[in-house]
Chain A
Amino acid sequence: MRYSFIHPKPKRRLDRESRLLGVFFVITLLMVVGFSLFLWIKKGMLVDEIGQMDGEIRHFKEERADYNRQIERILALSGKYEAIQTGNTLLKESIRNLFDLVPDQITLTKAMLNRDGLVLYGVTPTKEVYNYLLLAPLKSVFQRNTTTFYPLKNGWWRFVSVNEGSMESGEEE
């Protein structure tokens, strides 16, 4: 229903100060929202990076475990190699000593050297040669010596000498 000769003029909802306040408020709000958005995006990126880092850490842990296993294996191999090397050196030395022990008159046909002892097969011209030239040094090395002679057609003797209880290994009778 119209009663007035004129129509009311359109009015602003806010006064100048309120509008200014509103503009500042909107700007502040935009800044806060923008900063929040920035933080949110940054956080997302950091979470992604943390995820990636976790993956890398897991990967590195797995690699480290792998390397540790390899190191252990290498160390074991190295130990084994050293043991073999030592064994071989000892064996080599033992064989050299053994062959040094054997006089020229005696011929060895077979020799079996193991951890428990030494078994020698060979031919000797006489038992005395054997007893004086070979058995004496063997007795100084082994604690138990058992020799079995077999006569050959040419007058020589085949012998089998079983020597056990190496004094170096500390084995006692």
Chain B
Amino acid sequence: MGKLQRYFWPKSLLLFYLRDETIEAAFGYLEKDGPDLVERRRFGPGEKGRFEAWYRELAEIYPQTYVGTFLETVKQGAFPGCGPRAWQMFGIESALNNVVCIDGKWSAYVSSVEMKWFEQRFKAMTFDYLFSPFVLLYTSIRRHETWRRQCCCAVLHRKGLAFLVIVSPDEGFCYAQALALGSGDAVLDGTLATDETEEELAFDLDMLDEEDVEPIEDVDVFGEFKEESGESAESEAGDENALEMLEYNLNFFEAIKEAIERFYKDDRYPRAFVERVVLYDLEETGDDFVRYVEDELFMEGAVVHADPLQIMAELVAEEGA
């Protein structure tokens, strides 16, 4: 049947995700040989109505249009294991959370309230698939060969928010955490936020002092940045932007570092040593982050261009409409 299928009762997909106020959306067909995204559109701030109109138009033309997105809320997470025992171990209340078991090995969850809130933001749309960003990350990292050799920390990042997953060759899924960036602190999922707060931060600072490691804030990274930026930082406004970007990158890096430390410290998670950090970046954080990872954490760093729409399309195809 091949591509002919799209002319006879096609199954189609409308996938999107939010990047700040921007909506990145794609339309495609679900075919036997896999999903095929044929059109991508970007809706800027204030263009939500236009996006919903597009959805209505597509739903009218293609009644079998499945709508999917991934939840970019902070109150979500993932933990190893499935079933009530695992929920109990990580303090997840099934009444307050939606939980999905992946591969029978680990679970992703999201706060029911936040999920409803997200759905309410797009009242005009009927959602068919709501994915956890951790599922997207896990699926992406498993497609790369490196995870079979090294324990990887994969980070999906967009401005102000990051999702982190640690996958090891032996244990598979190990750890996940949602990080709210900007303020410099990582916003943890419900379980960790209650268990570990000030004590852990204190421990971090102590550890840094004991090992006589120069805090990242004190490193003259700005100087390096200026050198590299060259002519682009000539104006004052440019300087301010560069400064803000530097601060943000440092906070981002700190949040990642703290998340990894939490993983090492928490006995509930499998033991693994992170050797590589892969950044699936929706922004242009890029090279600075990799440099921090390599210089400060002595790990391998890599930036991979993320295409959540394509990953979601593949997940939909795998799950089956």
Where the two chains meet, the residues of A that have a C-beta atom closer than 8 Å to any C-beta of B are 1-9, 11-16
| Chain B residues with CB below 8 A from A7, complex form | 128
In the complex the two chains form, is B63's CB within 8 Å of A15's CB? yes
B189 to chain A: closest CB distance in Å? Answer: 15
A9 and B130 alpha carbons, distance in the complex (Å): 12
Known: A3-B139, A6-B129, A11-B321. 20 other contacts (CB 8 A): A2-B319, A3-B129, A3-B131, A3-B319, A4-B68, A4-B130, A4-B131, A5-B98, A5-B108, A5-B110, A6-B98, A6-B128, A7-B128, A8-B128, A8-B129, A8-B321, A11-B65, A11-B66, A12-B63, A15-B60
| Chain B residues with CB below 8 A from A16, complex form | 60
Where the two chains meet, the residues of B that have a C-beta atom closer than 8 Å to any C-beta of A are 9, 11, 60-66, 68, 71, 98, 100-103, 108, 110, 115, 126-132, 135, 139, 315, 318-319, 321
In the complex the two chains form, is A9's CB within 8 Å of B126's CB? yes
| Chain A residues with CB below 8 A from B100, complex form | 2-5
A89 and B128 alpha carbons, distance in the complex (Å): 121
Residue in A2, A5, A9, A14 whose beta carbon sits within 8 Å of that of B71 in the complex:
A5
A3 and B142 alpha carbons, distance in the complex (Å): 15
| Chain B residues with CB below 8 A from A13, complex form | 9, 63-64
B61 to chain A: closest CB distance in Å? Answer: 7
| Chain B residues with CB below 8 A from A12, complex form | 63-64
**Contacts A/B (CB < 8 Å), 9 sampled:** A3-B100, A3-B318, A4-B68, A5-B98, A7-B128, A9-B126, A11-B63, A11-B65, A15-B60
Residue in B71, B102, B126 whose beta carbon sits within 8 Å of that of A3 in the complex:
B102
In the complex the two chains form, is B126's CB within 8 Å of A4's CB? no
A2 and B135 alpha carbons, distance in the complex (Å): 11
Instruction: Name A12's closest neighbour in chain B (CB-CB).
Output: B63
Residue in A2, A3, A9, A15 whose beta carbon sits within 8 Å of that of B128 in the complex:
A9
A3 to chain B: closest CB distance in Å? Answer: 5
In the complex the two chains form, is A1's CB within 8 Å of B319's CB? yes
A33 and B163 alpha carbons, distance in the complex (Å): 62
In the complex the two chains form, is B131's CB within 8 Å of A5's CB? yes
A11 and B11 alpha carbons, distance in the complex (Å): 9
A5 and B319 alpha carbons, distance in the complex (Å): 12
In the complex the two chains form, is A3's CB within 8 Å of B66's CB? no
A14 and B132 alpha carbons, distance in the complex (Å): 31
In the complex the two chains form, is B115's CB within 8 Å of A14's CB? no
Task: Pick from B65, B100, B115 the residue with the most CB of A within 10 Å.
Answer: B100
Task: Pick from B11, B128, B132, B135 the residue with the most CB of A within 10 Å.
Answer: B128
B153 to chain A: closest CB distance in Å? Answer: 21
| Chain A residues with CB below 8 A from B98, complex form | 5-6
| Chain B residues with CB below 8 A from A14, complex form | 9, 63
Instruction: Name B68's closest neighbour in chain A (CB-CB).
Output: A4
A7 and B68 alpha carbons, distance in the complex (Å): 11
